[in-house]
Every structure is written in structure tokens, then in C-alpha cells.
Amino acid sequence: MKYTEEHEWLRPEGDVVVVGITEHAAEALGDLVFVELPEPGTKVSKDDEIVVIESVKAASDILAPLDGEIVEVNEAIVEDPTLVNQDPMGEAWFFKMKVDDPSQMDDLLDEAAYKALIA
């Protein structure tokens, strides 16, 4: 897995990358009450604002971690945003994307670097 400084995790699965937010981010946000995901087929560029989440504490945008195309979204977290608080690193992934340039992953943090960031 790879991580962004914006507290997203990325897990390659074949020719797609699964993206979600880290446990650290979910805890910092508090109880989620709303999630808006992009439409499958949406082309995104790194750092585009593509997901809106609202918690009891704040509203936040999730940025595209890489250039590519959204190929699938997790409707379960739209229907029940609290899933993100319950299992942010597993079942509560946000979207899957087909990446334009897989070498962009090389610029992201590994687990040790992410743990150092949040320490």
C-alpha cells in the first residue's frame, strides 16, 4: 500500500488502484454523515477535488491522488457514511481508478513514511 500526505491510502489490485482514507483521517474527522463520490468514467488529474465528505466536525474534500479514470465507486459508503468510521482501511474504500501513469505511485509514501508523518 501507498499513502498520501492528505491521509489517503492506495492499494493496487491488478490494473486498478483502490483508494480510501486512513484510519488516522477517519478518527480526526469524527462521525461521517455524508459522502459524495464521483461518477464512474470521470477523468481526473492529480490533486483534483473529487470526493466531498462531511462529518459532525467538518466538511472536507478528497483529492485525486493520481491521474486517471474513476472506474468504480463504493455506493455502500454513500448509503451509510458511518462505514468509513468502522472500517476505513477495508470495506469503506471510496473509489477504484485506472491510473494513466503507474510510476506516479513511486512518489507516494510507504507505510513507514506515513507513520512518521502522523507521529
pLDDT score for 78:
97
- On the question of pLDDT at 37 being above 90, the answer is yes
Contact yes or no for 55/87 (Cβ under 8 A): no
Domains in the chain, ordered, with CATH? 2-93 (2.40.50.100)
pLDDT score for 50:
96
Spatial distance between the Cα atoms of 40 and 58, rounded to a whole number of angstroms: 26
- On the question of pLDDT at 58 being above 90, the answer is no
pLDDT digits 0-9 by tens, 80-104: 999 999 999 999 999 999 999 999 9
Spatial distance between the Cα atoms of 119 and 81, rounded to a whole number of angstroms: 27
pTM value is 0.94
Arithmetic mean of pLDDT over the chain:
96
> What mean pLDDT is predicted for residues 19-45?
96
